[in-house]
Structure 1
Amino acid sequence: MSGLCGFIGYGASATDNRAVIETMAAPLARFHSAPLQSMQGRKSAVGVVASAATSHVYQRDGLMVALWGLPGKGIGQGADSVAAGIAQAWRRDPDALCASLNGSFSLCIVDDDAGEALLAIDRMGVGNMAYQVSGEALVFGSSADSIVRHPLTPSVLDHQGLYNYVYFHMIPGPGTVFQNQQRLLPGEFLRYRQGRIEKRQYWRMKFDERPERPFGELKQEFMRLLESGVRDAAAGSEVGAFLSGGTDSSTIAGVLTKVGGKPANTYSIGFEAEGYDEMEYARLASRHFGTSHHEYYVTPDDVVDAIPKVAAVFDQPFGNASALPAFYCARMARADGITRMLGGDGGDELFGGNERYSKQHVFEKYEKVPGLLRKALLEPAVFNFPGGEHIKLIRKARSYIEQASVPMPARLETYNLLGRYGPSQVFTDAFLVHADTNGPLENLRRDYGGNEAASLINRMLALDFKITLADNDLPKVIRSCELAGMDVAFPFLSDDMVAFSSQLTAKQKLNGTKLRYFFKEALRDFLPDEIINKQKHGFGLPFGVWLQHHQPLKQLAMDSLSDLKQRGIVRPAFIDQLVGQHLSEHAGYHGTMVWVLMMMEQWFKQHEQA
């Protein structure tokens, strides 16, 4: 992996601090060949391990600046370098600095003489920054693997973090898997001053839900922003694009070919399993735009080989199985000499593309039915209908009412796997003593309530900016690419495109139950109709299917779960029931929990060996 790390408020000399920062930076070089750039002060040090295109450092007069990522235009303008420009802005007005930044980045500024520091990440959370306070010292890093190597902040597992992982299949920020360690949220910064910290949001998504502008005007601006976003993301690198055959990746591939003036290199992953292969749509997009297309079919043997590697590259347990096909896609591109991949992530969240948006739109209609009519007429009629459990229409009506009666955002977790099993059936009593089973939903309510958008669709989009993008999809792609030695950029998440999407009306994102209405209409003369009208799928992994028939994969999973029994986290009886009765009943459904628990145990193993 790559990234930055550092500390302030600890150490006796620059020489001693260099040794500490070298120890902290070692995990950052584990999957990256870039050398360490380090800076030291008397009570501080900063280190960066990253390619020249993604690292920016500055040191002078006790001030150290390190920025990792792809900063936007204008940063460092008029200065010798990006980092020098940030240093100048810090000296002019520290409080106004973050609001002036754009692009994707993780940033640290350390003033050794004044005993002050600033940590920040970009608006959408492409960058990452974890931190821990110990006494009067602040230890930080873009990876928790660096923080736990500092003498003041050794790793102590957090039961709540592990519980949240099993619930969400990742650990939502600001929490982590380690006690007393936190992560910055998208658009957030931290100020450290003489042993004290203060956190604030320097940016928050604000939706402008005014009457819609003319379609032609919006389409013209949208296409201009697409082209400039792809052009900026591709600058200075040998670039390729992920191509799943969906609307987002196909759009990026087409625009990359257009702005590059030559066939874009595109990369797709397939699976030889019924219902999981969408290669035909990727081929369709490639033919349509004339890209130079590359394919690879992931096998069960590939999955067995990659599971330990993928577990190792993440700094905390991560259970999104799509990380594996993303890794193989990036690895294929790296072998061709590509150094940066462009991903289509963010399109769903900016323009309203997830199926749950239309589903919740339908449930919202029930909420608008007068309460007296619901309670006195509709619900008694449906739930007291004689023999209703045997009538499909009545069963569906009951299910609809039951779900619609759950308030948002808890309604989004109606089918949560851990909720279906029951926490007390999954976890040991000793583990649950130190975990709040209501914590995940409380986190969702906090995040959902943090945006004051007037419409349901925009409130859901704001939630997904954090939960789906910053906590899940972006780490999945970024870490998978790092494992392959690849940089990655996300053109849809340019600051200008994000601002543009906030000005679309709710109806332009979700028109009745029609998802991403404006997006699709604007691209009708650009994308093939078959791709615009296709059902959403993506880089899924047929793990549950393969688990039944591929012995090495099954053995790895069973061995992992057997070893997990010894950790006192999950009940051995639940694991036995999961791999016995549950898995045989529905491999696809229950295979997800097998994957989540297997990846947790693999994370333990890989990080104990590191």
Structure 2
Amino acid sequence: MSGICGWLVAGSTATENQQISERMRNPLIRFDGSPAQTIAKNNFALTVAAKPSHAHLHEANGLAVGVWGRITFRDKTLQDRAQAKGIAVVLAEQWRQNREKIFSEVTGEFVCSIVDSDLQEVVLTTDPLGTRTLYYQVLNQGILFGTSTDALLGHPQANSQIDPQGLFNYLYFHMIPGPGTIYQAQNRLLPGEFLHFQAGRVERKRYTHVKFDEDLNRPFPDLKQEFLSLLKESIREVTQHQRVGAFLSGGTDSSTVAGILTEISGVPAKTYSIGFEATGYDEMHYARIAARHFSTDHHEYYVTPDDVVATIPKIAAIFDQPFGNASAIPAYYCARMAKADGLDLLLGGDGGDELFGGNERYAKQHIFSLYEKIPASLRNKLLSPLLLSIPPDIGLSLARKARSYVAQATVPMPHRMETYNLLMRYGFETVFSPEFLAQINPQQPATMLEQTYHEIEARSLINRMLAFDWKFTLADNDLPKVVQACQLAGMEVAFPLISDQITAFSCKLRPQQKLKGTQLRYFFKQALRGFLPDEIIAKQKHGFGLPFGVWLQSHKPLREIAADSLSDLKSRHIVRPDFIDQLLDQHLQEHASYHGTMVWLLMMMEYWHKQHLSRSN
């Protein structure tokens, strides 16, 4: 579990800091055994744990710089200097000269920390899409930071008190969205943010801003040529001098990455796919189409219920706060295959949907937005009152659909996207104990969603939803899922589809080129037509979804560990015992895949609690 950790605390000694740093770095290296470098001085320490190409550490004249990840300078002169003297050295020089302006001159997937012991100053930053996480805790006389909450807990001044709001947010979102964490005293940087700490004061602001140019109208051939060039350059940049493979789900993104990797390397790319023996979940057919089309060196593995039983404790351990995306398990098995093949790096196709308009909800919300085009007087005085007065259980199908449409269309964005939220469907009072609800603000998720959505500077609905998903879908969910699953397998991962250059390109496409009516990722598919197989361009989005709820019905060991976990969870007084009983005894029989999601969320929360307690003792 590579990463970075450090602190600045007045009054500490170099010897004490060296001893503390050894405790803090253990969580960073416990899964992949990465080498760790540490600078320990009076008042501060800084550790970077990663393979040499991803670890950059430098200290001189009281200024220390640590970087974890892939980082390059946009300016060729600076990049040449970095290759000669080291990235951390050049960042230190540029920080003294240009301060935070330097962050707009770097690109890549990274976290960076700068500690100036003379000025008692710390600067922390993450890349624009938050591919790596960075946590921090403000102390009485300093600041503590790291890419793992477990690393922070290795410091004697760390506060390990669990935040009930974090647990509530986890069950609402299926993860804990930044800037919150599972601990009351810890926070997380948002994508593209930098934090400045000095004299006990913390200031956070963005060094990069999303800018959509919604009116730029360029010829399609020019856009296509630029796009294909950027794809090749992005993949070439992250793969040089490494043994590389790619995830292959059979979707447009992973197939594109696999095809271009084969093209630029001149040899069949090693590709890795996961299948499931469960109706409606197995996508191996499409992965095989892509593998044959690009003549990749293809590897497959069928995940079984026994694999899930064996892997659940490992998955709970690799995430240092509750995390509920079950597709971390198939991602892990892909990464494990790649590790066994001796690869250095695995490429993920994550981000293409969120840059180019590929999620089904984008088309769905477009349809609902059409209702807003009807004159307000007609909507508010006639249509809405009339249609919403129809009983929801009316026998007429058309009337039911009309009522359902208006009921959802009249919910303002972004709350309209939450109308199927699992926790809201059950009801907060039905799920949580009264004592737990008394400790939290049940409206905080809605406030967070609304604040994020309305901060986005875009006129079109599609661009607002895309930027919204860069945070909640990518930075908070999909990217940590893949990064941590790969860490568990000891495998590095990169996401070439969300490079700074491709992100900037997507922002210059017109909204209709991302969502044309209800046609998803219109430009992306047109630009890759002839390169990708037609079957993959036409297929519906699916991915590596785990058939957990279905397997609960038929696999006794899986059902037993789920029931045991939820039984243990009752004693924590978070979830109502009667809800747990109803979930297992009734709801699962009614709709296994739907209610199985809540079983998974509660089970992983209980496993996290046990892991947390064992690590704290």
Q: TM-score, normalised by structure 1?
A: 0.98
Letter in 2 for 1:289: F
The answer to whether the aligner puts 1:78 opposite 2:81 as a matched pair is yes
Aligned with 1:56: secondary structure? strand
The answer to whether the aligner puts 1:199 opposite 2:199 as a matched pair is no
Tell me the equivalent position of 1:415: 420
Aligned with 1:453: secondary structure? coil
Aligned with 1:488: secondary structure? strand
Native 8 Å contact 1:9 1:195 kept in 2: no
Deviation at 1:425, TM superposition (A): 1.1
Letter in 2 for 1:490: F
Aligned with 1:245: secondary structure? coil
- Work out which of the residue numbers 170, 175, 179 in structure 2 matches 1:170: 175
Aligned with 1:102: secondary structure? strand
Structure 1 CA distance for aligned equivalents of residues 389 and 567 of structure 2 = 46
Runs of 5+ consecutive residues of structure 2 not aligned to the other structure: none
Tell me the equivalent position of 1:517: 522
Distance 1:26 1:388, change over 3 A: closer
Deviations for 1:341-382, whole angstroms, at most 9, x for unmatched residues? 000001000000000000000111101211221233323443
Native 8 Å contact 1:313 1:479 kept in 2: yes
The answer to whether the aligner puts 1:13 opposite 2:13 as a matched pair is yes
Deviations for 1:245-302, whole angstroms, at most 9, x for unmatched residues? 0000000000000000110000000000111101010010011011000000000000
Structure 2 CA distance for aligned equivalents of residues 410 and 525 of structure 1 = 39
Distance 1:184 1:380, change over 3 A: closer
Letter in 2 for 1:168: F
Native 8 Å contact 2:8 2:117 kept in 1: yes
Native 8 Å contact 1:53 1:236 kept in 2: no
Structure 2 CA distance for aligned equivalents of residues 243 and 150 of structure 1 = 40
Letter in 2 for 1:397: A
Structure 2 CA distance for aligned equivalents of residues 312 and 385 of structure 1 = 50
Aligned with 1:119: secondary structure? strand
Tell me the equivalent position of 1:99: 104
Structure 2 CA distance for aligned equivalents of residues 383 and 120 of structure 1 = 48
Native 8 Å contact 2:72 2:79 kept in 1: no
- Work out which of the residue numbers 364, 371, 383 in structure 2 matches 1:366: 371
> Which runs of at least 4 in structure 1 moved beyond 6 Å after TM superposition?
none
Deviation at 1:387, TM superposition (A): 9.8
Deviation at 1:315, TM superposition (A): 1.3
Native 8 Å contact 1:174 1:184 kept in 2: yes
Tell me the equivalent position of 1:48: 48
Structure 2 CA distance for aligned equivalents of residues 266 and 386 of structure 1 = 52
Structure 2 CA distance for aligned equivalents of residues 225 and 375 of structure 1 = 47
Deviation at 1:102, TM superposition (A): 1.0
Tell me the equivalent position of 2:213: 208
Tell me the equivalent position of 1:89: 94
Considering only aligned residues, what root-mean-square deviation do their CA atoms show, in Å?
Answer: 1.2
Distance 1:23 1:10, change over 3 A: farther
Tell me the equivalent position of 2:261: 256
Letter in 1 for 2:288: R
Letter in 1 for 2:252: T
Deviation at 1:41, TM superposition (A): 1.5
Structure 2 CA distance for aligned equivalents of residues 157 and 133 of structure 1 = 16
Tell me the equivalent position of 2:224: 219
Structure 1 CA distance for aligned equivalents of residues 10 and 305 of structure 2 = 48
Structure 1 CA distance for aligned equivalents of residues 607 and 217 of structure 2 = 50
Letter in 1 for 2:519: K
Letter in 2 for 1:304: V
Identity in percent: 58
Native 8 Å contact 1:326 1:477 kept in 2: yes
Distance 1:192 1:264, change over 3 A: same
Which deviates more, 5-14 or 294-303?
A: 5-14
Letter in 1 for 2:237: D
Structure 2 CA distance for aligned equivalents of residues 387 and 333 of structure 1 = 51
Which deviates more, 385-394 or 223-232?
A: 385-394
Aligned with 1:390: secondary structure? coil
Tell me the equivalent position of 2:540: 535
Native 8 Å contact 1:136 1:196 kept in 2: no
Native 8 Å contact 2:216 2:508 kept in 1: no
Native 8 Å contact 2:392 2:400 kept in 1: no
Structure 2 CA distance for aligned equivalents of residues 102 and 367 of structure 1 = 40
Structure 1 CA distance for aligned equivalents of residues 363 and 9 of structure 2 = 51
Native 8 Å contact 2:388 2:407 kept in 1: no
Aligned with 2:445: secondary structure? helix
The answer to whether the aligner puts 1:454 opposite 2:467 as a matched pair is no
Native 8 Å contact 2:159 2:185 kept in 1: no
- Work out which of the residue numbers 336, 340, 349 in structure 2 matches 1:344: 349
Q: TM-score, normalised by structure 2?
A: 0.97
Which deviates more, 355-364 or 109-118?
A: 109-118
Runs of 5+ consecutive residues of structure 1 not aligned to the other structure: none
Structure 2 CA distance for aligned equivalents of residues 247 and 296 of structure 1 = 20
Structure 1 CA distance for aligned equivalents of residues 339 and 172 of structure 2 = 34
The answer to whether the aligner puts 1:375 opposite 2:380 as a matched pair is yes
Structure 1 CA distance for aligned equivalents of residues 153 and 534 of structure 2 = 51
Letter in 2 for 1:301: D
